[in-house]
Chains A and B, each alone.
Chain A
């Protein structure tokens, strides 16, 4: 691929690949801006860039990740996703066939969460200036009927749920990148959270806060919320939904699954006593691994703690960088 300088080649790239594959009504207009007609005065918007390596991993690829990641950010903010933009930066020499594969994955993901690509941009940069391909998506949505008040509203006694197994995405990526062999193979959970949001729709009034547990995993979400709410979250280790393959990988690598990214699992803070009802709804819609994993308490001297299998409560520290041994 050598489509750096705009002009004909770029137009061809857009016409032959972007438009053909993504094939949606607005993108056919080769103007500079998409025109959206939304009948709401409250529009929500989010953006994210995707630089994942490897590009293809068990359970997904950079294309599906770029769609679900942004759509999920809209969903957990209480928005109904409408469309996304797609910016692509490609390293010179990147195979067209691989690009097509990624674009198809973008299309499939869009279809699955009923959004479309409303506008896009492509740049080809010289070799070595980027690592194969980077995507950027901006999501636009309409504010839903009930938007959760956010983490400041969390009270002691509130219950914390996750909608699925934790750490799947991060471990899948790491295993693929490092070429680690596990039986069975860890698979990314990358997916839209639309089903989960739908499942808890009826309980939205009792939900304080929602967040997809992406980078830094469940732990990062809870640390952020604990700061906002000035409370402490206590996790029950025996309640954590962790697949055997993620468990095995974490043991080998000395990692804590609470710190590992998910891409299709969100954390819910629900008003005290509402947890079981929400859990029931989630499980009824197929989220068999959903679980109540802990509760909010008044502020202790650690923002997040875990009651381990021996019933000892220990602090969960947020890693500050690459994990280096602390044991002396």
Chain B
């Protein structure tokens, strides 16, 4: 037998630190398996600073391990850095997965919640399996993560599964390196894990799983509304083919006409609702499990009230076996909508859901796995073969941003669809969707989110970044904190969010920021902006020709007012009034015409979104908007229905005050002419889209040397985005659009953060130059 000393002479040790997405995805078991394969001793552990691997053994074994390591990572791993250093061998003979020590600043990336994987789903439906029909089944590559983490690193003891002691079987799986659940932190079964229960009228409680599924299925078939606690919070489930049930849901949720998303059991079922391309199929089936906005088939089983006159439908596949079971047994598309009262955050606690949703849900499927971080479903769309993110939630959040700085900075985003972004000095994150900050509950939620993320990421901001709009709640909150502030223009932030994702922060780009409204630096309302942009600043080189919003916010809620304002600009007052009365006989065009010219009663805007609003009102004779984005969505649906090629309307480019302007007055006159001539709304919508794109293309040709970044909520319109991108690419332009960062106001904070970092870095550089 060799003495320990002589053994050590043939032994080398290496220390490896991996960073990126390395926790909550089965990294440690994978590493342990590989180490054991190569007869290495040592350890692997989750640290706040990343994944720490120590291996020890013969030089050849260690080298093989190091070579093979990256090919043994779980598929969800994303390594952003790998550092290695030789260290002293200890002579230990065991390889161990160590409990983590949580100290210092969080450097690893929080894992996202993933939908149940195929293998788990298979086990769920295999009668011989230990987890047969266990609805909370999970493994190292699927299950809840972000929603159940109390603190990092990601360990069972730091999650809401802490109180569920493993049964003998689960412990065996957990410790067996050949098991799929070797070191799976969320491991559980019906004997030892959290459970579902069914509740009706606050009294009837059913604990038997098969029974409760049967009851819920009967409820849904009957047209009742089921409150199901999912991964990130409660969802309301309703039969999407039952008109009365859908109407009841709308009435109870006080949600007049905003489209609902549906869940179907398979891709095949999705094909019956909407046309899908390959990328859409892939993203639907992805473990991140977002709602995907698809082009709805002209005929499908859904009650018309599910989406109303818009052409898209949000579709998602089942998240967990419970969803799968309900979809399969009811066998119709199920409406799945957030379990909240409009204007309040999503419910996530059984007792509170019971009281808050009492007037909405007829029964509940609760579970007792505590939701630590409620998180709503994500929404994406595919345009030009690329993902466009509309809501960043479960599966996509928290989103790591490619901003590296040692400064700690908090960016508080906008007012509607608020999300925040921050850097804790070692990583930068965009938070999950928070909501519209116009209600008390969402304001409280906004403040709680900031506080909780600060604790989780160990962040204490040195600077706070905000929008220039003084009336945004986020801005007011920022100014109350007593920290140095950095104000960022709304559309600058939109463009930089796109630059950020495409590694363009060091470039000059031509940014096209098209959205509803954002405050400009000249105290007017912007929204159709052409900005020559760098990470620190911008020059507004062009915009949509301004028009007035009669009554400010009131015009946004009642877009027929914008129609009147557009008519008045495009023709004589007399004619505008006459046409206005014809199109909107029940409204007083005269009253609106009294105030269109008064700047302080009718703020001027260059907004693209508002232009869409006004045009839609003209074509459809609709007067009131009942949810944000409704009018542009209707216009897009109309254009989508037009299958013949149409002559574009004329949009001229002019120069005003050294800025180029996109003029829409001729187009308005052409639209009025077409309406008079009885042209189909779909044709008008198509001619409008085409003309607008031609006009934008002309504008872009005036700035030939820049890559183009498209951002802002208007680009949720797939026709606009796809045709514009195609035409610009015909002019050999490089065109970029945000992908993972939402391109609407939910992405503002990411842009704000990048701009702040760029400005502070530049200032620091200037100062150090000055000091020399």
Query: Which residue of chain B lies nearest to A323 when distances are taken between CB atoms in the complex?
Result: B552
Contacts of A301 in B (CB 8 A): 440, 443-444, 447
User: What number of residue pairs across chains A and B have CB atoms under 8 A from each other?
Assistant: 98
Contacts of B394 in A (CB 8 A): none
Flag if B552 contacts A324 (CB, 8 Å).
yes
Contacts of A313 in B (CB 8 A): 440
Q: Is residue A277 contacting chain B, with contact meaning CB distance below 8 A?
A: no
Please provide the chain B residues from 468 to 484 with a CB less than 8 Å away from any CB of chain A in the complex: 469-473
Chain A interface mostly? loop
Tell which of A312, A324, A328 touches B414, judged by Cβ atoms closer than 8 Å. Answer: A328
Q: Is residue B603 contacting chain A, with contact meaning CB distance below 8 A?
A: yes
Report Cα–Cα, A321/B209, bound state, in Å.
58
Stretch binding the partner chain, chosen from B44-52, B93-101, B257-265, B511-519: B511-519
Q: Is residue B591 contacting chain A, with contact meaning CB distance below 8 A?
A: yes
Contacts of A300 in B (CB 8 A): 440
- Given A301-B447, A321-B470, does the pair A326, B713 have CB atoms closer than 8 Å? no
Flag if B515 contacts A320 (CB, 8 Å).
no
Tell which of B416, B439, B592, B598 touches A327, judged by Cβ atoms closer than 8 Å. Answer: B416
- Given A180-B594, A254-B551, does the pair A324, B519 have CB atoms closer than 8 Å? yes
Query: Which residue of chain A lies nearest to B556 when distances are taken between CB atoms in the complex?
Result: A327
Tell which of B417, B554, B591, B594 touches A328, judged by Cβ atoms closer than 8 Å. Answer: B417
Flag if A252 contacts B254 (CB, 8 Å).
no
Please provide the chain B residues from 507 to 534 with a CB less than 8 Å away from any CB of chain A in the complex: 515-519, 523, 525
Report Cα–Cα, A263/B592, bound state, in Å.
28
Q: Is residue A315 contacting chain B, with contact meaning CB distance below 8 A?
A: yes
How far, in Å, is B399 (CB) from chain A's closest CB? Answer: 20
Q: Is residue B600 contacting chain A, with contact meaning CB distance below 8 A?
A: yes
Contacts of A325 in B (CB 8 A): 517, 525, 549, 552-553, 555-556, 603, 605
Contacts of A181 in B (CB 8 A): 594
- Given A178-B595, A251-B554, does the pair A326, B471 have CB atoms closer than 8 Å? yes
Flag if B552 contacts A302 (CB, 8 Å).
no
Please provide the chain A residues from 303 to 324 with a CB less than 8 Å away from any CB of chain B in the complex: 305, 310, 312-315, 317, 319-324
Q: What is the interface size of chain A, counting residues whose CB is below 8 A from a CB of the partner?
A: 27
Interface string of A97-115 (1 = CB under 8 A from B): 0000000000000000000
Please provide the chain B residues from 374 to 432 with a CB less than 8 Å away from any CB of chain A in the complex: 414-417
Q: Is residue B536 contacting chain A, with contact meaning CB distance below 8 A?
A: no
Flag if A328 contacts B515 (CB, 8 Å).
yes
Please provide the chain B residues from 151 to 206 with a CB less than 8 Å away from any CB of chain A in the complex: none
Q: Is residue B601 contacting chain A, with contact meaning CB distance below 8 A?
A: yes
How far, in Å, is A104 (CB) from chain B's closest CB? Answer: 32
Q: Is residue A253 contacting chain B, with contact meaning CB distance below 8 A?
A: yes
How far, in Å, is B74 (CB) from chain A's closest CB? Answer: 39
Flag if A254 contacts B554 (CB, 8 Å).
yes
Report Cα–Cα, A319/B470, bound state, in Å.
9
Residue among B516, B594, B745 with the highest chain A CB neighbour number at 10 A = B594
How far, in Å, is B320 (CB) from chain A's closest CB? Answer: 32
Flag if B603 contacts A314 (CB, 8 Å).
no
Query: Which residue of chain A lies nearest to B516 when distances are taken between CB atoms in the complex?
Result: A328
Flag if B555 contacts A317 (CB, 8 Å).
no
Q: Is residue B343 contacting chain A, with contact meaning CB distance below 8 A?
A: yes
Please provide the chain B residues from 623 to 653 with a CB less than 8 Å away from any CB of chain A in the complex: 628
Contacts of B417 in A (CB 8 A): 328
- Given A252-B595, A253-B554, A310-B254, does the pair A328, B518 have CB atoms closer than 8 Å? yes
Report Cα–Cα, A208/B734, bound state, in Å.
67
Please provide the chain A residues from 169 to 189 with a CB less than 8 Å away from any CB of chain B in the complex: 178, 180-181
Contacts of A254 in B (CB 8 A): 551-555
Flag if A178 contacts B598 (CB, 8 Å).
yes
Please provide the chain B residues from 577 to 627 with a CB less than 8 Å away from any CB of chain A in the complex: 591-592, 594-595, 598, 600-601, 603, 605, 609
Contacts of A251 in B (CB 8 A): 554
Interface string of A290-307 (1 = CB under 8 A from B): 000000000011100100
Report Cα–Cα, A320/B470, bound state, in Å.
7
- Given A178-B595, A251-B554, A252-B595, does the pair A324, B603 have CB atoms closer than 8 Å? yes
A/B interface sample: 30 pairs, CB < 8 A:
A180-B594, A181-B594, A251-B554, A252-B554, A252-B591, A252-B592, A254-B552, A254-B554, A301-B440, A301-B447, A305-B440, A312-B342, A314-B438, A314-B439, A315-B439, A321-B470, A323-B553, A324-B469, A324-B471, A324-B525, A324-B552, A325-B553, A326-B415, A326-B416, A327-B416, A328-B517, A328-B518, A328-B628, A328-B713, A328-B745
The 4 residue pairs across chains A and B that have the minimum distance between CB atoms = A254-B554, A254-B551, A328-B516, A327-B556
Additional A-B contact list (5), CB under 8 Å, known A325-B603, A327-B517, A328-B744: A301-B444, A319-B471, A325-B552, A325-B553, A326-B469
